[in-house]
Amino acid sequence: MFKTALAGTAETVTAHLEKVLSGYEGELGAAMRYACGGGKRLRAFLVLESARLHGVAEAPALDAAAAIEALHAYSLVHDDMPCMDDDDLRRGLPTVHVKWDEAMAVLTGDALQSLAFELVAGLDLPAERRLALMQGLARAGGGQGMVLGQVQDIAAESASVPLTLDQITRLQALKTGALFDWSATAGAVMAGADPAPLSTYASAFGLAFQIADDILDVEGDEAATGKRVGKDEAAGKATFVSLMGLEPARSEAGRLVSLACDALAPYGEAAENLRQAARFVISRQS
């Protein structure tokens, strides 16, 4: 069962993150641990499955999984701030700037970004492979990846002309796709293998994930998702749902999931967990 496998991963990764974060003192340490709590750990799951497919040892796989979750947590803490998405609820709990304050939210995010790079720099792997992962993470997470996607997303909200489907697809590829790609290909990079099939999988999966997110914002339940819903529509924001309509968006997500699963053919049955992960995202309620 995929949900059991994902829950198992979440538990392992959360425990590992807590261990890693135990060396961080004071309120900053507390806020970093709080920000890294909970979550589906989908990116960590991709890292660990991708590592398993390539026979990578558990220690570096787990550190890389913790790194991507720390990076993801940093982006959420900053995104939730009043000057950005202004969310007061995340994973069913008050966001960092609500529980502490905005200064702590800025600094907690900053420290978690540093931590992500520190973890990857310290992986128990040949130096060249660590560096390939570092450069990939900096590119995917930085001003030519995720952060650029964020800037474009914010700009789109105040633009007089809504984004087209092409623009929103490119924006999503930057904002969430690049880190999905890093996660799913991490195992291949760690093993020095060809990352191409996993990269194709990740692109299709990432896009399906974002479409599903847009659908959840329309159809979702606040109690189940643990975050505010209906925000996109209230903000008059162009989404896959507003541009395609609900049913066509659902069917496009389905098509992308098939495409993602097909890309894993070279791995045969061994990649079944990754296929289930892709199918899961379009059926999830949270």
- Catalog residues that contact a copy of itself under the rule CB under 8 A: 23-29, 32, 74, 78, 81, 83-84, 101-107, 109-115, 117-118, 121-122, 127-128, 130-131, 134-135, 138-139, 141-144, 147-148, 150-152, 154-155
**In this complex, which beta carbon is closest to a copy of itself, that of residue 1 or of residue 127?**
127
Give strand ranges (E) for the chain: 89-90, 93-94
**In this complex, which beta carbon is closest to a copy of itself, that of residue 9 or of residue 75?**
75
CB of 147 to a copy of itself, least distance (A): 4
Q: How far is CA 190 from the centre of its chain?
A: 19
**In this complex, which beta carbon is closest to a copy of itself, that of residue 58 or of residue 101?**
101
Of 217, 258, 255, 219, the closest CA to residue 239 belongs to: 217
On the CB side of 197, CA atoms within 13 Å amount to 18
Q: What SS3 class is residue 181? A: helix
CB of 220 to a copy of itself, least distance (A): 25
**In this complex, which beta carbon is closest to a copy of itself, that of residue 49 or of residue 181?**
181
**In this complex, which beta carbon is closest to a copy of itself, that of residue 32 or of residue 68?**
32
Contacts of 203 (CB under 8 A, 6+ apart): 173, 177, 180, 181
How far is 159 from 145, CA to CA, in rounded Å? 21
CB of 226 to a copy of itself, least distance (A): 23
* Cα angle value 269/8/224 (rounded, 5°): 105
**In this complex, which beta carbon is closest to a copy of itself, that of residue 42 or of residue 104?**
104
CB of 176 to a copy of itself, least distance (A): 15
**In this complex, which beta carbon is closest to a copy of itself, that of residue 74 or of residue 205?**
74
**In this complex, which beta carbon is closest to a copy of itself, that of residue 139 or of residue 250?**
139
How far is 149 from 105, CA to CA, in rounded Å? 20
CB of 24 to a copy of itself, least distance (A): 5
CB of 261 to a copy of itself, least distance (A): 32
* Cα angle value 43/90/120 (rounded, 5°): 30
Are the C-beta atoms of residues 216 and 225 closer than 8 Å to each other?
yes
CB of 251 to a copy of itself, least distance (A): 33
Residue 132's CB: how many other CB atoms inside 10 A?
A: 18
CB of 184 to a copy of itself, least distance (A): 20
Q: What SS3 class is residue 253? A: helix
Amino acid sitting at position 285: Q
Contacts of 111 (CB under 8 A, 6+ apart): 24, 28, 32
